[in-house]
Structure 1
Amino acid sequence: MALLPSPERDRTPICLALTGANGQYGRTLVAQLAATPEIRPAVLVDPDVEGVRAMLTDLGFAADRVGVGDTAEEADRLVAEGRTALVRDQDALPWDRLDVLVEASGKVGPGCAYAAGAIGHGAHVVMVSKEVDTVAGPALFARAASAGLSYLPADGDQPANLLRLLAWVSAVGLDVVAVGKAGEYELFYDPEAGTITQAEETIPAPDFAGLVTLGDDVAGTIAARAEQVAALKRAAAADSCEMTVVAQRTGLGADVEELRYPVVRIDELADVYALRDHGGLIEHDGVVDVCTSLRLPGEASFAGGVFAVVRTGDPVTWELMRDKGHVVSADGRYACIYWPYHYMGVETPLTVHAAVDRAPAPAPRSTVLLAGRTVRDLSAGTELQVAGHYHEIEGVTTAIVPNAPGVLPFYLLDRTRLARDVPAGTLLAPEDVAGVDQTAYDLFTEGLSR
């Protein structure tokens, strides 16, 4: 079936550059651009040029429509000929040909340089690299706004999806109590086997049957569930990073700096994220958090979705909503509105269009900071490096804290070395480390006044 009519299809083609093109997110976006011909993948940036070429071959790109540009002049010629230029780094970007940069490198130093370079050359920025956003988002947004450009988080990742959900919630006049997302890996409970599975790992959970429903003691049940799954990793730096992106654009914050990660089923969210005085977990309104999604056989996955818990109004209205299958707390005070998906690059064309159209967007402010707190004593000379699937640093955990002078963002710690001995429990400061990326640090300090 052909695409349904859409005004976006009729616009002049948008020339797009994508960094981190050979990553998972990059592939999902490039694949989707085959169905959105008004957005042209003009330049794909990745040190692994051959890997990008192999991906394009796998996606059905004709070999004669792709070329390697080792210099900006070569890349410019390829784009002018209507081909896709594969480049290794920023030095080979033909900026004058580009309308939008999608930054998906996932690395703070290069990502800051790419985004600042795009804005400096008159290109809009769609930010996939949440690590960059937590460090430099306020400064990059302000620079873009001053230049008449857009700087937007990418639809398809949870921060932008949650912000879009919140825009709807706000527009209809609902009172937000808590917002959040499901962690990357949900838990699957098999009652017959008495086991819980997370990704490829399965553990025995013989006593979980009595915890399948919340009961009257919500906090007690949540604590007991946490005990049952203590052997499984649930918290991840990437989750705190994404919630910081949301917090900086909404004025919300974490009520516990490490986030709560309650093990919860979708239909329990309105009870769990109620105020403590009403039997829930949270201390005050305006909380960002991450839950660990739990499902049983036959239940749909939350699929890394996003949610907003709101206060209800008219009891008759919300009992009607409950009858229609919506998630309303047992006492009727709260409801949960959720989107059970995030489709990565499949959704990102939405943001590319929004960027070109200069769609209004909330400005990120340095209200909160994603900091790094040591989890054990670390000695001078210890090398700190963001590594692994979860983009974490050994010996340092993330902490969402109110922004204050003298605290360094977590992702600015990447590829640094401790300048002195640091005891456990320390929020790391600029004087604690050597080797901070200067471009990223300058953008961070520039954004502190925003």
Structure 2
Amino acid sequence: MSLIAALRIREAEGRPIRVGLIGAGKFGSMYAAQAHRTPGVHLIGVADLSPPRAAAALARVGWDADRYRARSFGQAASDRTTHITDDAASMIASPHVDIVIDATGSPAAGIRHALLCCEHGTHIVMVNVEADVLAGPYLAERARQAGIVYSMASGDQPALIAELVDWARTVGFDIVCAGKGTRHLPAYHASTPDTVWTHYGFTEAQLATGDFNAQMFNSFLDGTKSALEMAAVANACELAPPPDGLAFPACGVDDLPLLLRPREEGGILAGRGTVEVVSSLERDGRPVFRDLRWGVYVVIEAPNEYVRDCFSQYGLRTDPGGRFAAMYRPYHLIGLELGTSVASIGVRGEATGATTSFSGDVAATAKRALRAGETLDGEGGYTVYGKLRRASDSLREGLVPIGLAHGMTLRRDIAEGDGIGWDDVEYDATRQAIQVRREMEDMFRRRAG
């Protein structure tokens, strides 16, 4: 049965999937814009640090004022109205909530919410890729033990890449490379919240809507978000990050199978079964022809001459030998598509992509020369960006994950471009996020022998 058919049945039977949303920012607002239009789904609650901001978000995306109200989760909602609260923990614990969506973007909050979902038997969609990369392998294991679904967020690029990878493997192809597009130049690693808007081209009117957070958008521009998303894909799809981090090659859709093949075959990859992000800009700043800035892709390999002939017969662009081809999706709609995850979990009990291994990690890396005594300010800030690393290398070198590199004080000077280690910083070891991360590191060190 299709998802929409199953949802319509639930709507007719008066037993909708009850969803609690944490975080009324851009992603959460985009989901809310569609949730009230979807049969068989009741967005029963929105939790945000600022309930007035949450109410304003619902109004902005088209909700009638009589459909939501400030109300405690100690009260059951017998109608189809929506609670607005600042108490995410109570919403997670409520027996009236089936699925929680964490769209906070805060690694510490994401970890806390996921563990509460494990405690209360509530499924979770982890939009929060920062939390997923910081501790996803640990959280996914805890979720399995608790009997709940821990899922990627459909509409976000990692889940869509995982979907392409699953398609390719299901029909018998080996994965050569999987990833996404973005707008990137090497100099962007040094971008700060003060310089970010000059690169995006948003108007003053757009920025005034309240949907645009400078540090969050800068985490996309400086490469941190790409590193996080590719680590999430590597961990969900059992793929290996490049040994030296993302290269961000300039590449359009027609050149995916030409460029993203192993070096011994004429491409740029260190090996098969990896991830990479392609840039929509040439190194001199010119736009790439037929770029994939908003899309996702997978490069596959023909196992024999017959399949190579099929590639040719059905019009796939390939490398000159006809061996490597790419499938891609040119756009993604992030929160507007999140309902697919809600339906998949609520109807089928299935995640739309989920962490299965610890292959990729994202290490805090100095944007500039840093001095002892400086305080790190995390993703998209002024001091560090996130660099994709193989998890085995990150653990061996004792590197601080980007998701924790906020509020830590440097004990020594760090050169521009160097990774920051646990021994380089002062930190509060009693913080839950740090305890969970360190426990996960110990767990994987033990498994590695």
TM-score normalized by structure 1? 0.80
State the secondary structure of the residue aligned to 1:117: helix
CA contact (8 A) 1:75 1:86 kept: no
Equivalent residue number for residue 169 of structure 2: 170
RMSD of the TM alignment (CA)?
2.9
Matches of 1:254 and 1:381 in 2, distance apart? 32
CA contact (8 A) 1:16 1:100 kept: yes
CA contact (8 A) 2:362 2:389 kept: yes
Deviation sequence 1:247-273 (CA, Å, 0-9, x none): 112232222433111111111100001
Equivalent residue number for residue 447 of structure 1: 440
Equivalent residue number for residue 367 of structure 1: 359
Larger radius of gyration: 1
Matches of 1:265 and 1:254 in 2, distance apart? 21
The reply on whether 1:381 has 2:373 as its aligned counterpart is: yes
In structure 2, runs of 5+ residues without a counterpart are 186-197, 203-219, 445-449
How far residue 397 of structure 1 moved from its aligned partner, in angstroms, is 4.3
Equivalent residue number for residue 302 of structure 2: 312
Equivalent residue number for residue 77 of structure 1: 75
Distance 1:318 1:401, change over 3 A: same
Matches within 5 A, 1:426-437: 426-436=418-428
Equivalent residue number for residue 264 of structure 1: 251
How far residue 341 of structure 1 moved from its aligned partner, in angstroms, is 2.0
The reply on whether 1:34 has 2:18 as its aligned counterpart is: no
Deviation sequence 1:279-318 (CA, Å, 0-9, x none): 2111211211100136999976635211111112344543
Equivalent residue number for residue 18 of structure 1: 21
How far residue 334 of structure 1 moved from its aligned partner, in angstroms, is 0.7
In structure 1, runs of 5+ residues without a counterpart are 187-196, 202-232
Matches of 2:132 and 2:288 in 1, distance apart? 38
State the secondary structure of the residue aligned to 1:263: coil
The reply on whether 1:288 has 2:275 as its aligned counterpart is: yes
How far residue 199 of structure 1 moved from its aligned partner, in angstroms, is 4.4
Equivalent residue number for residue 52 of structure 1: 54
Matches of 2:303 and 2:61 in 1, distance apart? 50
Equivalent residue number for residue 191 of structure 2: none
Matches of 1:99 and 1:246 in 2, distance apart? 26
CA contact (8 A) 2:154 2:337 kept: yes
Matches of 2:235 and 2:115 in 1, distance apart? 19
Matches of 2:227 and 2:3 in 1, distance apart? 38
State the secondary structure of the residue aligned to 1:239: helix
Matches within 5 A, 1:128-207: 128-183=127-182, 199-200=200-201
Deviation sequence 1:306-364 (CA, Å, 0-9, x none): 11111123445434434543221122121111122211122211111222332266543
TM-score normalized by structure 2? 0.81
Distance 1:58 1:82, change over 3 A: same
Q: Counting strand residues as a fraction of each chain, which structure ranks higher?
A: 1
Equivalent residue number for residue 242 of structure 2: 255
State the secondary structure of the residue aligned to 2:95: helix
State the secondary structure of the residue aligned to 1:76: coil
Equivalent residue number for residue 383 of structure 2: 394
How far residue 163 of structure 1 moved from its aligned partner, in angstroms, is 0.6
Deviates more, 1:353-362 or 1:305-314: 353-362
How far residue 125 of structure 1 moved from its aligned partner, in angstroms, is 0.6
- Which amino acid letter does the alignment assign opposite residue 247 of structure 2? R
Distance 1:407 1:151, change over 3 A: same
How far residue 76 of structure 1 moved from its aligned partner, in angstroms, is 3.2
How far residue 183 of structure 1 moved from its aligned partner, in angstroms, is 1.3
Distance 1:151 1:4, change over 3 A: closer
